[in-house]
Amino acid sequence: TVMKLKGREVLDSRGRPTVEVEVAGSNGEVGRAIVPSGASTGRHEAIELRDPEDRRHGGMGVLRAVAHVNGEIASAIQGMDLEDQAGIDAALVALDGTPNKGRLGANAILGVSLAVAHAVAAARGEPLYVHLNRLWRSRLEPGEFAEPVLPMPMVNMISGGLHAGVNLDFQDFLTIPVGASSYSEALEMTTAIYRAVGAVLREKDMEGTLVGDEGGYGPKLSTNAQAIDLILEAVLGCGMEPGRDVAIALDVAASHFYDPKTATYHLTAAGDDALDSAGMVAMLAHWAKLYPIVSIEDGLAEDDWNGWSSLTGMLGNSVQLIGDDLFATQTARLRQGVERHAGNAILIKVNQVGTLSETFDALLLARRHGYRTIVSARSGETEDTTIADLAVATAAGQIKIGSVARSERLAKYNRLLRIEDELGPSARFAGFKPTGG
């Protein structure tokens, strides 16, 4: 049973405060989790509670959320069965009482929810993914995706948008090593490409040293397309074939240059292009023809449902179309997407929804409707590696952690190497097919 809850303020990879929670059980087991934080957050995400009126940390403090962990939440769940993750998560949701967890804070609630799972794994002497896989299986029908699977990583090479602050409109230019036959091979191909992209940028005097929030390079480029050209040059330089060995993925993060009042997308990288929804769809379709692009995330804004449906009608059979801001890991949003044929994949971020159980809900609903699932980190991360275990345990298929630089990213990649090693020759690897179950 839950004996003691301890919340505290710690710092994330941007040096901003975030919530850490320790849960102690009656047999002395302790579980700990640290909550991540986004920068390009969507409107439909659960609310992260901060202390804007407080001058500490420029108003970014999380002491109110921490106080909720140590006070109200601790009193409410004390004595509950630690193994009853669903019961504890339901109690947390009910205690908060708002639709977006804005009263107690999704950061307070998620810290507790994840720490509970860690405590159970510790009590059982099991790796976290084994425990998470048991919880996951308990939700499945016979024959449904129950076996742990190592995910294919999609990895950020060049950053723009709100993560690098230079002049690229699109947020991430990523690679997927589609030709890899194991997780460790995928990672090795990726680090080779990352080094090569750095070398190409340095050679061209384009700042191949400085990196953005997620470890991707943040060069000053004149067009979005240039970022893809540079990555493809690096891929070829590694002796890999674009399309066959390595494919390109984009996180357009289009909500952040969309003006809902005028229904216009404002692209500034190549002059000031103002596009309507149909223009954006046409541009993305053109890019998908021009380049070996197999995945596009948030190609349209979070409430441009018609645009999403039209993009999916046009590209949905050949390109993975991921809703991040669009779905915000919320089943209600995903249900709308299924009805409207908007997207064919969902980004899964634990702090967009705020509990482990609701994260399972989103993963399960997606899989049952043939949507692909990509477990994702945030741009503000820590040494916490829970999402690596989550991706394996739920056979999510893909993971997105940022680049292969900065240890808040590598902690997760290394955790996956450890899991792969532990599973041994029986380790299954997801591989990559752009569409289909």
361 annotated binding-site participant? no
Q: Which of 168, 276, 271 is nearest to 212 (CA)?
A: 168
Phi, psi for residue 89 in degrees, rounded to 5: -65, -40
378 annotated binding-site participant? yes
Q: Tell me the sheet residues that pair with 37.
A: 380
Question: Which residue's beta carbon is nearest to the bound Zn ion?
Answer: 324
* DSSP notation for 92-124: HHHHH-STT-TTT-HHHHHHHHHHHHHHHHHHH
Answer positive or negative: Cα dihedral of 149, 411, 167, 17: positive
- The residue from 190, 379, 386, 394 that contacts ligand PGA (CB under 6 A) is 379
The letter for the amino acid at 169 is: D
379 interface partner picked from Zn ion, ligand PGA, none, CB below 5 to 8 A per type: ligand PGA
CB of residue 324 to ligand PGA, shortest distance in Å: 5
Please, what is the end-to-end C-alpha distance for the chain in angstroms? 39
Pick 24 or 154: Cβ nearer ligand PGA: 154
Q: Which of 332, 325, 379, 388 is nearest to 352 (CA)?
A: 325
Pick 25 or 380: Cβ nearer ligand PGA: 380
389 interface partner picked from ligand PGA, Zn ion, none, CB below 5 to 8 A per type: none
Tell me: does residue 41 bind ligand PGA (CB under 6 A): yes
State both tokens at 234.
């690096």
Q: Tell me the sheet residues that pair with 34.
A: 20
Pick 32 or 400: Cβ nearer Zn ion: 400
- The residue from 372, 378, 406, 415 that contacts ligand PGA (CB under 6 A) is 378
Q: How many secondary structure helices (H) and strands (E) does the chain include? A: 15, 14
Q: What would the x/- binding string for ligand PGA be over residues 307 to 346, using CB under 6 A?
A: -----------------x----------------------
Which residue among the candidates 29, 48, 214, 408 is catalytic per the annotation?
A: 214
Pick 325 or 361: Cβ nearer ligand PGA: 325
Beta-strand relationship, 172-176 and 152-159: antiparallel
- Alpha-carbon distance of 81 to 316, in angstroms, equals 44
Which residue among the candidates 48, 349, 412, 420 is catalytic per the annotation?
A: 349
Tell me: does residue 324 bind Zn ion (CB under 5 A): yes
Tell me: does residue 48 bind ligand PGA (CB under 6 A): no
Total interface residues for ligand PGA by CB under 6 A: 11
Catalytic residue list contains 349: yes
Beta-strand relationship, 345-348 and 264-267: unpaired
CB of residue 171 to Zn ion, shortest distance in Å: 6
378 interface partner picked from ligand PGA, Zn ion, none, CB below 5 to 8 A per type: ligand PGA
Residues near 294 by beta carbon (within 8 Å), at least 6 away in sequence? 176, 178, 247, 248, 249, 319, 320, 432, 434
In a 13 Å sphere around the CA of 203, the CA atoms on its Cβ side amount to 10
Catalytic residue list contains 383: no
325 annotated binding-site participant? no
Q: Scanning residues 187 to 206, which ones bind Zn ion (CB under 5 A)?
A: none
Q: What would the x/- binding string for Zn ion be over residues 96 to 115, using CB under 5 A?
A: --------------------
CB of residue 35 to Zn ion, shortest distance in Å: 18
- Residues making up the annotated binding site for (2R)-2-phosphoglycerate are 171, 349, 378-379, 400
Q: Which residues are catalytic?
A: 214, 349
- Judged by the rule CB under 6 A, the positions of this chain that interact with ligand PGA are 38-41, 171, 251, 253, 324, 376, 378-379
